[in-house]
């Protein structure tokens, strides 16, 4: 009947940066009275992911989960990227479920990395498909325009002018896209073209954060006839869990701590980690630093002890001055929400940027790879933080010295400009998800459409 709530299935891909927002979206839809199913692919790459999914499903027992077993690819390369590919090869596993689900699935929300292989299968089953784009609208505009850019230039060896958005310097384009023969580039182009077949694109951003890119996309300036882009962010946090750092944070003065994390997928070189350590110490601020030296946490035990990386003397002086270094997983949202945190040195994974925006924590952007320079651009333009562009890849000097890091961390923590503009971003973020706010309105309209 017309009163039946829509049944929405969500299809996340691999990595915390993809799982987190899709699950947040699933929980939000449940809150709006939708029936929600989550499709989970096994085996997962990291233990962070399996732990996260288990906690998520037990926190939201009314979300129906569908578990599918895929065949992992046995090939060298980035394990998350290989996982995208093995999930991309599995749409046939989904088809029987689409036809037999009860109540019938009204609509599917598919992670952007899976678009080109899943969309044709889902459409053939007569179900409407929406894409979930897990990065910024700036990055979506690059993605949408990329096939046109490639066609015109054959290879992406030059700056990219995105209509209505502006010129993206060559160094800001994700490095893998410079190689037109790389599987990543092929997938990227195929997905971008498949987006055009979707009923709409959900994205974790909000109007006031990226007005130009959203306008250019939705006015058909980037790609004529591009599907409606629906900003629904910032997505709400799922569960505030205890984190080992909480007691320590509680004891720190307001806005006095620098939080340092480069996401779940970046492993810095040991040399750069050491310079960063020197820099943080010399900044004079207390810090909470999450260190990764391997890409996948399952391999974490095999690597060097923190003492070996940083030296015993340094570890001693960290303890003496009251800072904290942790290896492994922390509950980042709990940390960013905490009053003691006054700055965030970040790789600018998009989820991290949105979490900083929600809590008004000033960001020192230090992008490491992929879409992170595009996201750092948003950080800078929106007033959420600062970006030292020479630090990232493509710069003259690869190793950033401690001295320079100390100077910028001090600036982040002491600059009245960024310390006052970041909280203003948080006010706009809260407005977007408040009653009658732009993101809330977009989501309500999206759900209403599914009912008819």
Nearest approach in angstroms of CB 53 to ligand BUP is: 13
Strands 324-327 and 200-203: unpaired
Q: DSSP 3-state helix, strand, coil percentages of the chain (rounded to 5)?
A: 50, 15, 35
Nearer to ligand BUP, 136 or 439 (CB): 136
Q: Please list, in sequence order, all residues whose beta carbon lies within 8 angstroms of the beta carbon of residue 261, skipping any fewer than 6 positions away.
A: 289, 290, 330, 332, 344, 345, 346, 347, 352
Residue nearest to ligand BUP (CB): 349
Nearer to ligand BUP, 210 or 355 (CB): 355
- Minimum CB–partner distance for residue 18 and ligand BUP (Å): 6
- Catalytic-role residue among 7, 18, 149, 338: 18
Residues that bind ligand BUP in the complex, under the rule CB under 6 A? 15-17, 20, 261, 263-265, 290, 329-333, 349-352, 355
Closest CA to 240 of 326, 331, 328: 331
**CB-facing half-sphere around the CA of 117: CA atoms within 13 A:** 18
Cα-based angle 218, 222, 228 (whole degrees, multiple of 5): 25
Helix/strand number for the chain, H first, E second? 18, 15
Q: In whole angstroms, how close is the CB of 325 to ligand BUP at the nearest point?
A: 13
C-alpha distances (whole Å) from 117 to each of 73, 214, 228, 349, 394 are 16, 26, 21, 25, 33
Closer to ligand BUP by CB, 359 or 391: give it. Answer: 359
Which of 7, 111, 208, 347 is the catalytic position?
111
Catalytic residue list contains 111: yes
Nearer to ligand BUP, 20 or 129 (CB): 20
CB of residue 330 to ligand BUP, shortest distance in Å:
4
Q: Smallest distance from the beta carbon of 290 to ligand BUP, in angstroms? A: 5
Closer to ligand BUP by CB, 106 or 205: give it. 205
Distance CA 89, CA 333 (A): 33
Instruction: Tell me whether residue 7 is one of the annotated catalytic residues.
Output: no
Active site residues: 18, 111
């Amino acid at each position: 009947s017309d009163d039946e709530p829509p049944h929405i299935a969500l299809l996340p891909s691999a990595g915390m940066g993809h799982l987190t927002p899709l699950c947040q979206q699933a929980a939000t839809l449940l809150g709006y009275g939708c029936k929600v199913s989550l499709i989970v692919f096994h085996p997962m790459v990291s233990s962070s992911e399996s732990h996260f999914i288990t906690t998520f499903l037990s926190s939201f027992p009314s979300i129906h989960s569908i578990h599918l077993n895929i065949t992992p690819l046995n090939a060298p390369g980035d394990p998350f990227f290989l996982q995208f590919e093995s999930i991309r090869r599995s749409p046939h596993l989904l088809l029987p479920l689409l036809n037999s689900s009860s109540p019938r699935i009204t609509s599917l929300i598919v992670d952007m990395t899976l678009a080109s292989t899943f969309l044709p299968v889902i459409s053939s089953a007569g179900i409407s498909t929406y894409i979930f784009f897990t990065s910024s609208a700036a990055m979506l505009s690059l993605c949408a325009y990329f096939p046109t850019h490639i066609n015109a230039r054959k290879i992406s060896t030059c700056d990219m002018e995105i209509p209505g958005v502006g010129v993206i310097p060559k160094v800001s384009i994700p490095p893998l896209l410079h190689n037109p023969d790389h599987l990543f580039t092929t997938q990227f182009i195929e997905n971008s073209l498949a987006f055009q077949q979707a009923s709409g694109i959900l994205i974790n951003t909000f109007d006031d954060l990226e007005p130009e890119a959203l306008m250019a996309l939705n006015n058909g300036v980037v790609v004529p006839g591009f599907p409606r882009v629906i900003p629904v962010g910032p997505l709400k946090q799922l569960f505030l869990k205890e984190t080992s750092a909480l007691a320590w944070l509680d004891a720190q003065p307001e806005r006095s701590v620098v939080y340092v994390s480069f996401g779940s997928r970046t492993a810095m070189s040991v040399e750069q980690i050491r310079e960063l350590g020197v820099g943080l110490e010399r900044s004079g601020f207390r810090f909470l630093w999450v260190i990764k030296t391997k890409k996948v946490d399952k391999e974490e035990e095999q690597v060097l002890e923190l003492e070996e990386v940083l030296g015993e003397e340094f570890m001693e002086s960290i303890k003496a001055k009251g800072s904290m270094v942790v290896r492994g997983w922390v509950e980042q949202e709990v940390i960013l929400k905490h009053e003691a945190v006054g700055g965030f040195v970040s790789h600018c994974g998009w989820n991290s940027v949105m979490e900083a925006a929600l809590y008004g924590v000033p960001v020192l952007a230090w992008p490491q790879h992929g879409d992170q320079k595009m996201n750092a651009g948003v950080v800078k333009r929106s007033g959420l933080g600062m970006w030292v562009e020479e630090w990232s890849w493509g710069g003259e000097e690869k190793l950033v010295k401690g001295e320079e890091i100390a100077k910028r961390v001090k600036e982040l923590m002491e600059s009245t400009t960024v310390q006052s503009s970041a909280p203003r971003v948080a006010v706009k973020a809260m407005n977007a998800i408040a009653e009658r706010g732009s993101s809330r309105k977009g989501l309500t309209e999206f759900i209403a459409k599914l009912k008819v």
